[in-house]
Chains A and B, each alone.
Chain A
Amino acid sequence: MKPYLLFTGDEDMAAGGAVAANRSEWKGGYSAFEKNAGSYRHTANGKNIGVARPANPDRQVMASEDNLVLETIADLNLSVVFDAMARQDPFLRETARQVVPVPVTDPAVILYRQEILKDAIRHPAALQKLYRLSSEAVEDALFYRNMNQPNYAQMVPMAEKVQKALGLLVLLLGKAKGLKHIIAATEKSFQSKGLQSFCSRIGTLLSESFLMKADAHVSELQSLAGKGRLVIASGLGQGMKGTGHVLRRISSPLPAWKTGGGVFGRKEGGVIHLDDINLSRSACEMEDAGFVHVLRVISRFSDDLFRFFAALRFETGYFEGCINLHRLFSQMDIPVCFPVPEPVENPILVFDELVDAGMALSDRKRPIGNRLAAEGKSLFIITGANQGGKSTFLRSVGLAQVFMQCGMFVTASQYRANIRDAVFTHFTREEDSGMDHGRLEEELARMDSIVRRLTCRSMLLLNESFATTTEREGAQIATDIILALHEQKVVVLYVTHLYEFAQGMQDRKPDKTEFLRAERAEDGFRSFRIEPGEPLSTSYGEDLYAKIMTTG
């Protein structure tokens, strides 16, 4: 039983492929929650009892994860987005952190999520009910498990363990009934294929007859565990050992075999009295084995129901996070739209009023938007004034690409772009700003790890890369790398001050290339808009110098 809100479910059929690989990452996600859910529980209930949050949760939790994804999260300032999606709920933050940076490459899945998200935005209360119920189910189940921890000790009789396991199953079946009620109440209001089929599928699985049968089994098992009288059927196996043991339903007791008393002269040939410690110990072992089997059967259903609720919590949690984000943007009057994902073949990047979502969330106000209409372009060289909005522009494009590929809306009035298999970022860090070859090597080492992963379907955002050496050397290195990537069809957006490089590219006139420039009026006024324009030989450092010196 799976919710199938983040994926259509068809992917399970298609073996391999990027989507399938993604799915396994999600599964890892669920199990991580199962382990950590204890600490999430307290904060999620608003009763924070001092669970220490790691200083940098992104690094902490993802230490084992992909370094390049971590860098992209840092470079694009995705943490701010995660925080906004979470609204103080650590589970939502973790969910966003796991879903948002993983690009979906199947357009059908992107549209599938978009449709569900539209529904969710239309009916936020319904989505919230699903999220709350599944959260409760997970946390109550974990709480029950923790309470009954001694259950797993050796001393406890098997029959009692079965009783406790039945308690958990009863709890989860109760939540399943709650889910059925929510579905029945909200089913009709949904328009998306994803939520509609979720409702009908889960509604059918949790049918009245199933729930009745489940209850009947539970009470029968309860009485079995209470009285502890098992009937086991066996056959003769290898070396005369008993084999093929199965449990029989308790019926009226059948008579024991009459063995004629020939061999051992007993009257009741078929009855073995447990009048010896060895005999009764072995009988116990058999009984325990029978109950262990019952326990495994029950636990499996409980585990599956639990996993289902954990998955539902995770998947509805993602949409809950999107709703939170959407609310913030509309409060700030920032336009959002659902982007149009295009196949990778013909490069296209068209948008209007695109803003840097991260900057908007940090500054709590609407930033200046940019527009671009680039068809058939795969290399963007962005030059121009310092603090002219180049990095912001780069980040806004990167964020929009990431948002589009997790099935979210983007902060623009319209957006069309190709589906990429990955977005990589190579941003100059504060600590990189000096000029020595140790830093250049560090930068190149990072570039090396990116190139290792790049494919002709990837997008790469470079911000002031290769500026840690002399302009001449930097330009040489940049030219080699950028030309090679461009010829291999990697989409590259490169913000650079390396005039020698930019001018060199201009002279080469490579095809499918767009030169963009941070706009600057004659009086030095910066509009923070990025417009098509050829590189100019200075970056107006003197503007900044003049501004600081005069105001200071």
Chain B
Amino acid sequence: MEFQSILQNEGSSEWPATTREPGCFADLNLDQIVGAIVTDYEEYDLMPFFRQMPGSLETVVYRQEVMRDLEVSFVRNSIIAFSLELRKAREFLGYGKTLHNPDQRRKWRLDAAMRYCSAVLGLETALSSKGLPMASGLSSQGLRQFSAWLRAYRNSAEFTAFHAQTEGLHQEATRIRYRLEMGRDRVVVGEDDADTDYCEEINATFAPLIDVPFNEQIHFFADLEMSMLENRILEIVKDKHLETFVKLEKWCDEHPDFLDDTLVRFDREVQFYLSFLSFLAPLQKHGFCFSYPDMSIDQHLEITEGYDLALAAKCMESGTDLVPNDCLLSGSERLMVLTGPNQGGKTTYARALGQILYLAALGCPVPARKARVFLCDTIYTHFSVEEDIGAQSGRLQEELLRVRAILERATGHSLIILNELFSTTTTRDAHAMGKRILDHFAALDCFCLYVTHIHELAQSSPKAVSLVAAVQEGNSDVRTYRILRKPADGQAYAHAIAAKYHLDYRSVKDRVGT
């Protein structure tokens, strides 16, 4: 029985070791998001998984299923426990290579094997139909196949024998005890006469008076490398229990490499899901919602209450709120022309849209209450950089070169986000150029978000809709950060003050707790 990958159901190609960061990452703040996701997972080198869209609807569905299974805390925690055990095993194997005392190195290898066996057994039990708390079992194809493979591996004659041998030897070593009598000029090593623990006796006397039980241990010789005294003690112990030490040496010769390749690969790849979910958890706890997008090849773009994930992470830290927005296109609508005041939430809206489509194409849940989106092949972005407004002619040329590259590569399944293009030219020129670009995308039938101050562009095509960053009614200085679909376009003093402190009748009534 074979198992390939928990990240894709087809093909077995390994991932390229390094994938370059997609061009849209910086504009969409995906670099911040992915950076935060992988930060605690350095040893697994997850960056390539997040930088490459798999590009197939089957893979996206395959991943969504696995992700959903992993949202079940039992499943997730079982796999985390497995990974932690494997990490320990790897750490121990490292000691088994570097330390000086050969007996110590061998013992670390044995201890690593114990961890490895316990990782395998623990996960196999947890993912078996008996272990799982849900009656229906695992629902994802990926984890079901993995679980079946794991069962076969765990029951294989090879693993069973290895496990029995390892455990037996480990127990034998654990049973060895000795006693050290500390003299002024000597340490005497002898048989442990199995007397009671003296400190325990004292504890027992005082226990009735104590509220919290005492669980301290004696610790000394914290270094991994053994000191001269430890080496001398171990020599004596080895002399006394030579048989066990000889067996250990033989075991090491017989099992030079016991980690299974499939498991090692699974351990790495599954971190893609775990890292994403652990990034989500605090946000969810904080009230931000996520949903699995309904994915299709067809041109759907319907997002309800989507938001910028990087901004959400910042809001969580500062304890502020953000305003989610919808993006609902129907029929042949493809082009969104977004206008409105500066700092009104336009760029945030653009980023949220890009992030949602990117994460959706990765097979992840997206920052939105609900989403039904197409599987995009590439996201092309151009965000103007306000600082270099000075170099005008150079900038227009650079912009046009960028846009040309996008026009040449974009397909009907691309998403194009153009933010404040041509802001340095005259409005007339910007209008004319913008119209031609939008016409191109209309013909290509791809989705495009065009952020501009030229609201006339909204009427440029029947496929275009106008979006506006709204201001408060009656007070155009107050921005609401709401992006509304619409054509581009004052109470008694005491009550007002009371309302300011949430002390109007309605507020007070709502606020008093029960």
- Which A positions have Cβ atoms within 8 angstroms of B? 1-2, 205, 210, 213-214, 217, 221, 229-236, 238-242, 244-249, 251, 253-257, 259-260, 262-264, 269-276, 278-279, 282-283, 285-290, 292-294, 296-298, 300-301, 304-305, 308, 437, 440-441, 444-445, 447-448, 451-452, 454-456, 469, 472-474, 476-477, 480-481, 483-485, 487-488, 490
What's the least CB distance linking B467 to chain A, in Å? 37
Q: Does B236 contact A (CB under 8 A)?
A: yes
- Contact present for B206 and A301 (CB under 8 Å): yes
Q: Which single member of B108, B182, B508 contacts A485 (CB below 8 Å)?
A: B508
- Which B positions have Cβ atoms within 8 angstroms of A? 92, 95, 99, 101, 103-104, 107-108, 111, 173-183, 185-203, 205-206, 208-211, 214, 216-221, 224, 226-230, 232-240, 492-495, 497-498, 500-506, 508-509, 511-514
- Contact present for A290 and B501 (CB under 8 Å): no
26 contacts between A and B (CB under 8 A): A214-B205, A229-B181, A231-B179, A235-B176, A236-B174, A236-B177, A236-B237, A240-B104, A245-B217, A245-B219, A247-B199, A249-B198, A256-B188, A257-B189, A272-B187, A285-B221, A289-B220, A293-B199, A297-B199, A304-B209, A437-B497, A444-B503, A451-B503, A480-B503, A480-B505, A480-B508
Which A residues lie within 8 Å of B502 (CB)?
448, 451
11 more contacts with CB within 8 A, not counting A1-B208, A248-B192, A290-B218, are A1-B209, A229-B182, A231-B182, A240-B103, A240-B107, A242-B233, A248-B195, A445-B501, A480-B498, A484-B505, A484-B508
Q: Tell me the bound Cα distance from A214 to B511 in angstroms.
A: 57
What's the least CB distance linking B204 to chain A, in Å? 9
- Contact present for A248 and B198 (CB under 8 Å): yes
Which A residues lie within 8 Å of B175 (CB)?
235
Which B residues lie within 8 Å of A437 (CB)?
497
- Contact present for B509 and A488 (CB under 8 Å): yes
Q: Tell me the bound Cα distance from A209 to B201 in angstroms.
A: 15
The residue in B190, B493, B509 that gathers the most chain A C-beta atoms within 10 A of its C-beta is B190
- Contact present for A270 and B189 (CB under 8 Å): yes
Q: Tell me the bound Cα distance from A260 to B514 in angstroms.
A: 80
Q: Which single member of B189, B193, B494, B513 contacts A251 (CB below 8 Å)?
A: B193
- Contact present for B209 and A301 (CB under 8 Å): yes
Q: Which single member of A247, A257, A304, A469 contacts B240 (CB below 8 Å)?
A: A257
What's the least CB distance linking A474 to chain B, in Å? 8
Q: Tell me the bound Cα distance from A395 to B174 in angstroms.
A: 72
- Contact present for B180 and A233 (CB under 8 Å): yes
- Contact present for A283 and B205 (CB under 8 Å): no
Which A residues lie within 8 Å of B202 (CB)?
217, 221, 297-298
- Contact present for B211 and A253 (CB under 8 Å): no
Known: A205-B208, A257-B190, A264-B235. A251 touches B230 (CB 8 A): no
Q: Tell me the bound Cα distance from A215 to B313 in angstroms.
A: 59
Which B residues lie within 8 Å of A256 (CB)?
188-190
Known: A445-B501, A456-B513. A1 touches B95 (CB 8 A): no
Which B residues lie within 8 Å of A236 (CB)?
107, 173-174, 176-177, 237
What's the least CB distance linking A538 to chain B, in Å? 23
Which B residues lie within 8 Å of A287 (CB)?
182
Which B residues lie within 8 Å of A473 (CB)?
493-494
Q: Tell me the bound Cα distance from A263 to B245 in angstroms.
A: 14
Q: Which single member of A239, A241, A245, A454 contacts B512 (CB below 8 Å)?
A: A454
What's the least CB distance linking B363 to chain A, in Å? 39
- Contact present for B182 and A447 (CB under 8 Å): no
- Contact present for B210 and A301 (CB under 8 Å): yes
Known: A236-B237, A300-B214. A477 touches B193 (CB 8 A): no
Which B residues lie within 8 Å of A441 (CB)?
497, 500-501
Q: Which single member of B190, B216, B226 contacts A293 (CB below 8 Å)?
A: B216
**Nearest 9 A-B pairs (CB), nearest first?**
A282-B229, A289-B220, A484-B508, A473-B494, A259-B239, A488-B512, A455-B513, A480-B505, A245-B218
